[in-house]
Amino acid sequence: MLYKNLAVNEAGHLTVSGFDTTDLAAQFGTPLMLLDETVIRNRCREYIRAMEAHLPAGSRPLYASKALSLKRLYEVMKEEGMGIDVVSVGEMFTALKAGYPLENAFFHGNSKTDGDIAFAMDHGIGHFVCDSLDELTAVNAEATRRGIRQKVLLRLTPGIDPHTHEKISTGRIDCKFGAAIETGQAEALILQALALPAIDLQGYHCHIGSQIFDHSPFCDAAILMLEFMADIKARHGFCPPVLNLGGGMGVPYTGADGSIDYTANIASIGKLISEVCARLELEPPVILMEPGRSIVADAGTTLYHVTTIKQIPGFKNYAAVNGGMTDNPRFALYQAAYTVLPASRMLDERDFVCTIAGACCESGDLIQEDVALPRPNRGDLIAVLTTGAYNYSMASNYNRIPRPPVVMLTETGPHLAVRRETLEDLLHNDL
């Protein structure tokens, strides 16, 4: 099995952290999104411990809530002592409603409105991660109006290409985020920030991409950023205390991905940082990281029922399920790989190769191709693994399909964290 929390019981049913998936499907209906809370908590603890052990004092992880944003998760983040990265008023509002203190939040985004900026300040946001001069100027104006100095990191692009899918690689010079070091725009932005009286420039930020397994792209980014910090210090006498290396550590979606050791990666990055700082005679900065996917992805499992089996002789077979791109758009968007299991028939021979199709009126609405299953029957239960990140958070109501519920699996049982959308919910905004 891909993950330790999965097993098969005597009935041949897939279990997730000891819970029979057919029981969960009967109790909560399908499509159903399961989240193993223990996996999430353990991953938070692993990041916190590894960063404390291997990085300069004060270094800590911030959960990138774009991966999955719901109230229960912010409660878990608060309990685990995680900082958070938020990118919208909606994420901030969800965190606030969960009692998460926004002073531990970093507000990202390349297109913040005056309203977004005011909302964040109204609720005591800890840091802004500013992406441009337009934004810095607006933050400075709002902070001046309030008589405060706002803590800020600047988003810089180090020009590293981590070789992930183009749409999820964000550290390249030509991407829409941040100011590039190579073009001199990063330096200019720093000088502009230093000239703004209500901006308290605390550090630099970079994010090179997502689903990266190896530590070396992070090390490359760290070297570039530290050399840049030393250069700015030498030429302008300014060196901020914080360096945020962004998110991006990968998660195995299938057996082909191999495994990843987060602690070992962080230890390698830490070793490199202390060597480079010593060489540059730089005080080692506090390091922040923003893991999203690697906190929640492998905690998630989606259950569907099979509705239709279609064989097109000489071409391909389809098994259609009662969900699809509305709850998981990642195959449609990125041809993302997933492991699909016959949850109600785990012991049967898997001799039927098929494409798992979604229910939307769109031929690209697929969950996965070339999946080997026991020849499915209508009503069989299918499990898609590793759906905790960028599934529910990217879900939509296309075709007016309600979003599934989210159930947290905990030691005390399964708990409904987000209920299933109702048909009335779909009409909520229609006047």
Smallest distance, Å, CB 215 to ligand LLP?
A: 14
Smallest distance, Å, CB 317 to ligand LLP?
A: 27
Classified as helix, coil or strand, 218 is helix
Smallest distance, Å, CB 95 to ligand LLP?
A: 16
CB of 306 or CB of 389, closer to ligand LLP: 389
Q: Are 301 and 387 in contact (CB under 8 A)?
A: yes
CB of 13 or CB of 293, closer to ligand LLP: 293
CB of 291 or CB of 405, closer to ligand LLP: 291
CB of 17 or CB of 294, closer to ligand LLP: 294
The long-range contacts involving 352-357, CB below 8 angstroms and separated by at least 24 positions, are 352/317, 352/376, 353/317, 354/309, 354/316, 354/317, 354/318, 354/319, 355/316, 355/317, 355/318, 355/319, 356/318, 356/319, 356/320, 356/321, 356/382, 356/384, 357/318, 357/319, 357/320, 357/321, 357/324
Helix (H) or strand (E) holding 111: none
Smallest distance, Å, CB 27 to ligand LLP?
A: 28
Marked catalytic residue, from 130, 239, 360, 361: 361
Residue 361 annotated as catalytic: yes
Give CA separation, 95 vs 35, 89, 121, in Å. 18, 10, 15
Smallest distance, Å, CB 43 to ligand LLP?
A: 11
User: Which position has the token pair 């070789």?
Assistant: 163
Smallest distance, Å, CB 166 to ligand LLP?
A: 11
CB of 25 or CB of 224, closer to ligand LLP: 224
CB of 108 or CB of 305, closer to ligand LLP: 108
- In the complex, the residues that contact ligand LLP under the rule CB under 6 A are 64, 66-67, 85, 108, 168, 170, 207, 210, 246-248, 290-294, 330, 389-390
Nearest to 244 by CA among 209, 191, 188, 203: 203
Task: Report the half-sphere exposure of 14 (CA within 13 A, side-chain side).
Answer: 29
As a whole number of angstroms, the distance between CA 181 and CA 157 comes to 6
* Catalytic residue set: 361
